Chains A and B, each alone.
Chain A
Amino acid sequence: MADPILEVKNLHVHFETHDGTAEVINGIDFSIDRGETAALVGETGCGKSVTVKSIMGLLPSATIPEGEIRYKGEDVLSLSDAERHSRRGKEMSMIMQDPMTSLNPVLTVGEQMMDVLKWQGRPRLSLSKLVRDALSTGAKAEHRKRAIEMLGEVEISAPERVFESYPVELSGGMRQRVLIAIALLSEPDLLIADEPGTALDVTTEAKVLDLLDELVEERDTSVLYITHDLGVAREVSDRINVMYAGEIVEQAPTVDLFANPQHPYTRGLLESIPTLSTGIGDGIEGHLPDYTNPPAGCRFADRCPHAEAACHEAYPYPRRTGPDHATACHLFDGLPARERHESLAADPVDIGTAPWLAGGGDAPGDISADGGTDQ
């Protein structure tokens, strides 16, 4: 936590709906150090996208009644729209989730990249700049060179051809590479990756993830990685924040989290990863709570196999359960709770031989063997 590039403190995000106020993000805290890759993991609808859009300032319809988002120490929520706009793309950029829909279908890849180089951070279209751009062939050639160079960096073998192509002429993997290239064009310090590769087949996804890993390593870019897949998070991230229903229920370094998954939800997620030995897991019963009328206590209580009366009444503040490990669960209250947790931990999470472990080198048993006992 020495030098955080991004700190999110007690962030609340609300939406006004016909059924009342939806309290979608309910006080989350996390931070990303410079050069670190942090993952935000949770099921669809848990508020991951809302969180990153709040960070990017791309949620005009939301209200943020409480909380702070600090980027390089600066409270971005207090900045004007223009100031936030000037930072988008340049300071923090985003790789979109779906390569099929995230490129403009009617413009060539090259034109979209040139637009980012030309217009990034500018408040509006200006006629004088349009005229100047049309006249200056030098700047145009330079932008073109830069764009093609970037396409080369994402390991596209014929960058000139792709530059002239329309998105419809490219494969999904190719488009995902183009999205990465565009996001990195202005060399942002913070990159938000919203499930890149999820829409691709597994082998293409693996290649794209490896590539992304290399690119951010070279540039020392900090990454906030959004995924619903703990397996992917394990591959790419240094630190994992597990999110459930607008709250972060567990956060720990990746190694710690897999060695010692604590929150019942995290354990449920691990169990629901399909494995070769046990097949598709049971998953977690039930649904996300209603955001317009959230439970008073723990938002996971209704689905939690270990829930007690107290869980439905009192809000579970995050407990520090290790030197760098926090879990928001009543099971970690006081000694009796700890005993209960130990009995819970004694029941190992069988993550079997998950496909994503194949390259990781860990024996599958490592994770479940001593889960929780040393906290």
Chain B
Amino acid sequence: MSYVDYLVRRAIHSVPVIFGLSVLIFLISRVIPGDPVRLALGPEATEQQVATLRAEMGLDQPLPMQYADWLFGVVQGDWGMSLRTNNNVFSDIVARLPATLELTVVTLFFAVLLAIPFGVVAGTNKDRWQDHLSRITALFGVSMPRFWVAIVLQIVFVVSLGLLPLSGRLSDGVAPPPAVTNLYLVDSLIAGQFGTFLDAATHLLLPTVALGLATLAQVMRLIRSDMIDEQRKDYVLAARAYGLPNTLIEYKYMLQNAFTSSLTVVGLAFGFLLGNAFLVEIVFAWPGMARYGVQAILYQDFNAIVGVTIVVGIGFVTANFVVDLLYGYLDPRVRLEEG
């Protein structure tokens, strides 16, 4: 079976997942306490008015019909009005999503990029100082709450050392680059504005560290233990007997095997980053979607809550799809043995 077949099959597999997700989100939006009709009309409305609006909004239809209606609207970008901002929720999210995506994708990228060498070094030096150092760091990274790390970073690097900007995506007076993707790092490079790129990168640094430390620690420990498992495999002994350099055995032979099992966790980690980004976004006044979601919850802004849930859910499904693709790419057994 070729890799393309594998891709197609994986893509087909995610269709029922997305369907299930949409049903779940729809049901959640219907069980959230509070009657949207009552909420819209206020306490003074008559039963007659309530019934009329209910019929207008399609809420007197059976649930499956309501679901179809709702799904149709969602697909067309009609996600309802936000009670708090009085904008269409869809356009609110579109405006804020790039900031969150930039934060989480950069965080995940660097967390995994750093976790690999640290994990390999810790795993191949089991119970030596490198391993102990990584263990202590990992314990620290996992056990410190993200918002607390964020505040400590601000105190040290912004207040005491004055090295980095306190909050936001860009400094005052720096204009956002011409919008293409609304990811400032990408847009500033497209426009060739390296000053803006640097400014955006320095703003991104502390939130990334605060958000990614736990993920880095988690992935590093996984790679470490998978590397230790790989060390005992026959193919490693064989490769040594053929006179291959240790670094080749560790970073090519063992790592590719070890990383496939860590990959699943990386997919889940992306979902967690999306969900946890709000803590960091609030501390760093990051104009992202996660902060918007938290505010929506505080204001009982149902349409916005559902909107954010949809996006996080799609993010989760997409991340896991990407992981499946990488998994099949890295491990031929996955694409060759299935089916």
Contacts and interface: CB of A to CB of B under 8 A. Distances in A.
A116 B235 contact: no
Contacts of A104: 235, 239, 253, 256-257
Interface string B252-272: 110011001000000000000
Contact of B245 (A108, A125, A166, A183): A125
A106 B257 contact: yes
A102 B241 CA distance: 11
Contact of A58 (B235, B240, B245, B251): B240
Interface string A30-63: 0000000000000000000000000010100000
Contacts of B241: 56, 58, 88-89, 93-94, 96, 183, 192
B246 A124 contact: yes
Given A106-B332, A120-B243, A125 B248 contact: yes
Contacts of B252: 115
Given A88-B243, A89-B242, A106 B256 contact: yes
Contacts of A205: none
B234 A96 contact: yes
Contacts of B243: 85-90, 93, 116, 119-121, 186
A102 B251 CA distance: 18
A166 B332 contact: yes
Given A104-B239, A106-B330, A168 B336 contact: yes
Interface string B290-327: 00000000000000000000000000000000000000
Given A56-B241, A93-B242, A107-B256, A125 B247 contact: yes
B245 A124 contact: yes
B238 A179 contact: yes
B238 A94 contact: yes
A89 B257 contact: no
B115 to A, nearest CB: 19
A33 B227 CA distance: 40
Contacts of A90: 243
Interface string A122-146: 1111000000000000000000000
Chain B contact residues: over half helix, strand or loop, or mixed?
Answer: helix
B234 A88 contact: no
B244 interface: yes
B237 interface: yes
Nearest to B235: A104
A3 B253 CA distance: 38
A105 interface: yes
Contacts of B128: none
Interface residues of B, number: 27
Interface string A88-116: 11100110111001111111100000011
Chain A contact residues: over half helix, strand or loop, or mixed?
Answer: loop
Interface string A180-221: 001101100000100000000000000000000000000000
A63 B245 CA distance: 23
A169 interface: yes
A101 B331 contact: no
A95 to B, nearest CB: 9
Given A86-B243, A168-B332, A186-B243, A103 B235 contact: yes
Contacts of A115: 244, 248, 252
B333 to A, nearest CB: 5
Contacts of B245: 85, 119, 122-125
Given A106-B257, A168-B336, A116 B242 contact: yes
A88 B333 CA distance: 30
Interface residues of A, number: 39
A88 B257 contact: no
Nearest to B239: A104
Contact of B238 (A96, A105, A125): A96
B237 A119 contact: no
A31 B285 CA distance: 75
A232 B240 CA distance: 27
Nearest to A92: B241
A325 to B, nearest CB: 32
Interface string A68-98: 0000000000000000011111100110111
Contacts of A186: 242-243
B330 A98 contact: no
B235 A101 contact: yes
Contacts of A168: 332-333, 336-337
B242 A102 contact: no
A33 B140 CA distance: 59
Nearest to B251: A125
B235 A105 contact: yes
A85 B246 CA distance: 10
Contacts of A121: 243
Contact of A182 (B237, B242, B256): B242
Given A86-B243, A119-B244, A119-B245, A105 B332 contact: yes
Contacts of B330: 106
A182 B238 CA distance: 10
A169 B2 CA distance: 13
A25 to B, nearest CB: 18
A121 B248 CA distance: 12
Contacts of A122: 245
Nearest to A117: B242
A86 B244 CA distance: 9
A138 B36 CA distance: 72
B325 to A, nearest CB: 15
Interface in B186-239: 233-235, 237-239
Contacts of B333: 105-106, 166, 168
A106 B234 contact: no
Contacts of A107: 253, 256
Contact of A119 (B238, B248, B336): B248
Contact of A116 (B233, B237, B244, B246): B244
6 contacts: A58-B241, A102-B235, A105-B235, A105-B257, A107-B256, A116-B242
Interface of A: 56, 58, 85-90, 93-94, 96-98, 101-108, 115-116, 119-125, 166, 168-169, 179, 182-183, 185-186, 192
Q: Which 5 A-B pairs have the closest CB atoms?
A: A89-B243, A88-B243, A94-B241, A166-B332, A101-B234
Given A89-B243, A125-B248, 4 more contacts: A94-B241, A104-B253, A124-B248, A179-B238
